[in-house]
Amino acid sequence: MEKTEISSLLNSRKLRSTKIRQDVLSLIKNSGRAVSQSKIQKFLGEFDRVTLYRTLNVLEDKGILHKAYTENNETYFAICTSNCSPQNHQHKHIHFKCEKCMVVKCVKPQKSIEIDLPNFQINSLNVEVTGVCDNCLLN
């Protein structure tokens, strides 16, 4: 994703286009997968943990990023599609963690996930699946 593209995405959510927001979003977007918080931290270097933590929170609040996977205190973040809006994440996809290459990815299932909970309101839905990814199965 280009700088101007990220800026307009941030602007559309009424966020200023700061360097740390730019860096976080371009890292995740360009990697094409979910990126762990510690990897983001390493990549950013110059920013401290608190600043990064706050940045990730804001981007999640505004419907730009979502938590894809959490394990052992490590959280993976992925970019949202345009379906997400502030305070309302709509992901009809699966979060797949490959046990071989350890990659976490957002994967669209062939059949859409429909979950109905009568009398309950669903605000977010996160389906975590582990296994072996398409890439690893080929090799």
Taking the complex as a whole, the smallest distance from the CB of residue 113 to Zn ion amounts, in Å, to 12
Q: Is 3 in the site for Zn ion (CB under 5 A)?
A: no
State which amino acid sits at residue 18.
T
Instruction: Give the Cα separation of 2 and 73 in Å (integer).
Output: 31
> Considering beta carbons, is residue 102 or 117 the nearer one to Zn ion?
102
Residues paired with 98 in a beta bridge? 131
- Minimum distance of Zn ion from residue 123's CB (angstroms): 11
Please tell me whether residue 113 binds Zn ion under the rule CB under 5 A. no
Smallest separation (angstroms) from Zn ion to the CB of 87: 10
Nearest to 60 by CA among 21, 31, 103, 17: 21
Q: Which is nearer to Zn ion, 21 or 89 (CB)?
A: 89
Measured distance CA(1)–CA(89) in Å, rounded:
21
When asked if residue 104 is in the footprint of Zn ion (CB under 5 A), the reply is no
What are the residue ranges of helices labelled H in the chain?
3-12, 19-31, 37-44, 49-61, 134-138
Which among 13-21, 25-33, 47-55, 125-133 is the span making contact with Zn ion, rule CB under 5 A? Answer: 125-133
- Contact flag: residue 100 with Zn ion (CB under 5 A): yes
By CB under 5 A, the residues from 67 to 96 that bind Zn ion are 68, 78, 80, 84, 89
Query: Which of 101, 113, 125, 129 is the binder for Zn ion (CB under 5 A)?
Result: 101
The reply to whether 106 sits near Zn ion by the rule CB under 5 A is yes
Angle at 135 (CA atoms; ends 105, 139), nearest 5 degrees: 155
